[in-house]
Amino acid sequence: MLNAIRKGESFVPNLKGKNFLRLTDFSPEELSWLLETAIQLKKTQKQGKQQPFLSGKVLGMIFEKSSTRTRVSFEVGMMQLGGQAIFLSTKDIQLGRGETIADTAKVLSRYVDAVMIRTFGHERIEEFAEHATVPVINGLTDLHHPAQVLADLLTIYENKGRLEGLKLCYMGDGKNNMAHSLLEGAVLTGMDITIASPAGYEPDKEIVSQAKKKADRSGSKILINDNPREAIEMADVIVTDVWTSMGQEAETKERLEKFAPFQVNEDLCALAKEDFLFLHCLPAHRGEEVTAEIIDGSHSAVFDEAENRLHAQKAILKVLLAG
């Protein structure tokens, strides 16, 4: 679909005012349009031709979890598009002192043009969106990380020239938000995806079920596998994430033992395609989920991926706020 849009086939969706909570809230055509918008915004930035699409617009950013790439990409993205962003930690707003999510959503909707939230339970952002009257953007929840995966899809497309038909292998915690959003992104773009994780750490069953329904239409293949060597075989793209996410620190020792066979290293990657691409949303723990030889090696595009957070986030902001 992305290649069809690139060839000039007519499709311009109106996504102005829409929320960005998870990737399957969008059709394959709409997701392709977001990616094409990111490509064009990146191109104009490199040419030094910034356009103030969001002049006079303000983004409120609520952070209940710490951040580097999410905060900087959204804040800089708003600035480059001519708007402004306000950083709001739970220490700074009444949400952290017991004000209801609904009340906070109603109040902020009267001040800002959109709200980006980085939080814990996905139900928190869903409740916020239910009561907000401006677009709400998911900067990360425990269940989904769609803004990151939009940047991942952009990075894969830049390196491979296509998305449809590629095999993506996610190696690690299948319950991770990255696994869930990669699963949704893959079936919307026609990629095959294998999620390799230890028994007991498989992705959410409901998310898998919903993704399989999408896969029936896109032709994507979904495999959940507890054998890392089988899972990575002939992979075009290998993705991993930290084994212990924020809020799971008490499980660190147990996770290190169970996930050890799923470390992305040279031995495992030898089973993938010779030109495999390696991605990691960062921050990374070298020597745990990935070895330095892989993340710092020639197959890695992790810093291009990190840069693409900016271009992907600008696409989200432009499309939701300016149309």
Q: Is 1 a residue whose pLDDT tops 90?
A: no
Annotated catalytic residue, options 22, 122, 144, 145: 145
Give the per-residue pLDDT at 96.
73
Q: Is the pTM of this model over 0.85?
A: yes
Q: Tell whether residue 41 is among the known ligand binding residues.
A: no
Q: At residue 108, what are phi and psi to the nearest 5 degrees?
A: -65, -30
Residues 161, 170: contact at Cβ < 8 Å? no
Q: Which tokens sit at 189? A: 């773009």
Q: Tell whether residue 69 is among the known ligand binding residues.
A: yes
Q: Tell whether residue 177 is among the known ligand binding residues.
A: yes
Q: Residue 223's pLDDT band (boundaries 50, 70, 90)?
A: very high
pLDDT digit string, tens, across residues 266-276: 999 999 999 99
118 carries an active-site annotation: yes
269 carries an active-site annotation: no
Q: Tell whether residue 228 is among the known ligand binding residues.
A: no
Q: Tell whether residue 229 is among the known ligand binding residues.
A: no
Contacts of 166 (CB under 8 A, 6+ apart): 156, 160, 191, 192, 236, 237
Q: Residue 91's pLDDT band (boundaries 50, 70, 90)?
A: confident
Handedness of CA 66, 72, 77, 78 (dihedral sign): positive
145 carries an active-site annotation: yes
Q: Which tokens sit at 297? A: 């090696």
281 carries an active-site annotation: yes
Three-state secondary structure readout of the chain: CHHHHHCCCCCCCCCCCCCECCHHHCCHHHHHHHHHHHHHHHHHHHCCCCCCCCCCCEEEEEECCCCCHHHHHHHHHHHHCCCEEEEEECCCCHHHHCCCHHHHHHHHCCCCCEEEEECCCHHHHHHHHHHCCCCEEEEECCCCCHHHHHHHHHHHHHHHCCCCCCEEEEECCCCCHHHHHHHHHHHHHCCEEEEECCCCCCCCHHHHHHHHHHHHHHCCCEEEECCHHHHHCCCCEEEECCCCCCCCHHHHHHHHHHHHHHCECHHHHCCCCCCCEEEECCCCCECCCECHHHHCCCCECHHHHHHHHHHHHHHHHHHHHHC
Q: Which residue has the tokens 């507890």?
A: 226
Q: Residue 323's pLDDT band (boundaries 50, 70, 90)?
A: confident
Asked if CATH classification 3.30.470.10 holds for the domain at 28-144+308-322, the reply, yes or no, is no
241 carries an active-site annotation: yes
Q: Which residue has the tokens 């104009």?
A: 44
Q: Tell whether residue 118 is among the known ligand binding residues.
A: yes
Annotated catalytic residue, options 22, 144, 309, 311: 309
Q: Residue 3's pLDDT band (boundaries 50, 70, 90)?
A: low
Q: Is 2 a residue whose pLDDT tops 70?
A: no
Q: Residue 287's pLDDT band (boundaries 50, 70, 90)?
A: very high
Rounded mean pLDDT of 185-208?
97
Give the per-residue pLDDT at 6.
52
Asked if CATH classification 3.90.1150.10 holds for the domain at 147-301, the reply, yes or no, is no
Domain-wise residue ranges, the chain: 28-144+308-322, 147-301
> What is the pLDDT of the chain when averaged over all its residues?
95
Rounded mean pLDDT of 115-132?
97
Q: Is 181 a residue whose pLDDT tops 70?
A: yes
State which of 1-15, 92-106, 156-170 shows the largest mean pLDDT: 156-170
Annotated catalytic residue, options 80, 192, 241, 263: 241
pLDDT digit string, tens, across residues 20-62: 999 999 999 999 999 999 999 999 999 998 889 999 999 999 9
User: Would the CATH topology of 28-144+308-322 be identical to that of 147-301?
Assistant: yes
148 carries an active-site annotation: yes
Q: How far apart are CA 106 and CA 134, in angstroms?
A: 9
Q: Residue 5's pLDDT band (boundaries 50, 70, 90)?
A: very low
For residues 248 and 227, which has the higher predicted lDDT (pLDDT)? 227
Burial class of residue 320, CB neighbours in 10 A (0-12, 13-18, 19+): buried
